[in-house]
Amino acid sequence: MSSDVTEKKGVLAVFKYLDDTCEALKKIKGRPECRQYEVYAPASYHELIEVAEEKMGTSQVRWFTLVGCLSGVTSGFGMCLLADYDWPIIVGGKLPGIYSLPAYVIFGFELMILFGAIATILGMLVMGRLPNPKNHVFDSRLSDDHFAIFIPNMDRDSEVAQVLKTCGACEVKSV
């Protein structure tokens, strides 16, 4: 999938209907000149994600979540154990003290969730290439009720642009 940043020039086909967008996407996605396409939608319609599946793959956000959770659980237990080590409670002369692991499960669990959630948000942002205040919004309708396919380095008179129009694009423009 191409970058969201639209420094490049290209052609933007705006669609009113979801099925038209899917059909257009199916027709153009195999073409060598359309490898860098990007699709815009007002909501996360799974139909579109399924059509573009081979481009998308499985989201890598899961690795962020996993690393966050593991570091959280380690930090939770580590924090309590370090405090024990720093101020040992000696019972019956047994050193280095009491490590109340069942009680520390709570800290391991809570920090696992906390770090995991923060890392997930970071993953969503990093993988979605956010924050990016310079992102150019092609058309204000795209966050409302319209869909769009953007193909960089393409002319509006090209064959691909014609295909997009045939599939039901309500507007095909150079951007």
Partner 1 sequence: MSEVIWDKTVSDVNDGILIGVNKPNLSFYFALTISVTCLLIGAVAWGYQIAFGMGIAGLNSPVYWGVYITNFVFWVGIGHAGTLISAILFLFRAKWRNSINRSAEAMTVFAVITAGLFPLIHVGRIWFAPYWMAPIPNTNNLWVNFRSPLIWDVFAISTYLTVSLLFWYMGLVPDIASMRDRSHGFKKILFNFMSFGWVGSLRQWHHYEAGYAFLAALATPLVLSVHSIVSWDFAMSVQPGWHTTIFPPYFVAGAILSGCAMVYTIVLPLRHMFQMEGFIRKEHLESLIKLTLLTSTIVFYAYSIEFFVAWYSGNEYEWAVFQKRAFGPYAFYFWVMVFCNCLFPLAFWSRRVRQSYVLCFIICVLINVGMWFERYNIIISSLVEDFLPGSWGHYEPALVEMLITVGSFGWFFTWLLIFCRFFPIVSMSELKLIMPKPLNPTKKPHGEV
Summarize as ranges the residues that interact with partner 1 (CB under 8 A). Answer: 1, 4, 16-20, 22, 38-45, 47-49, 52, 56, 58-62, 65, 69, 79-80, 83-84, 86-87, 100, 103-104, 106-107, 109-111, 113-114, 116-118, 120-121, 123-125, 127-137, 140, 142-145, 168
Question: Which CB atom, from 119 or from 160, has the smaller least distance to partner 1?
Answer: 119
d(CA 70, CA 82): 18
Least gap, CB of 149 to partner 1 (angstroms): 10
Least gap, CB of 127 to partner 1 (angstroms): 4
Least gap, CB of 93 to partner 1 (angstroms): 20
Least gap, CB of 25 to partner 1 (angstroms): 9
Question: Which CB atom, from 52 or from 70, has the smaller least distance to partner 1?
Answer: 52
d(CA 53, CA 50): 5
Question: Which CB atom, from 39 or from 161, has the smaller least distance to partner 1?
Answer: 39
Question: Which CB atom, from 47 or from 159, has the smaller least distance to partner 1?
Answer: 47
Question: Which CB atom, from 134 or from 157, has the smaller least distance to partner 1?
Answer: 134
Residues 38, 7 contacting (CB under 8 angstroms): no
Least gap, CB of 33 to partner 1 (angstroms): 19
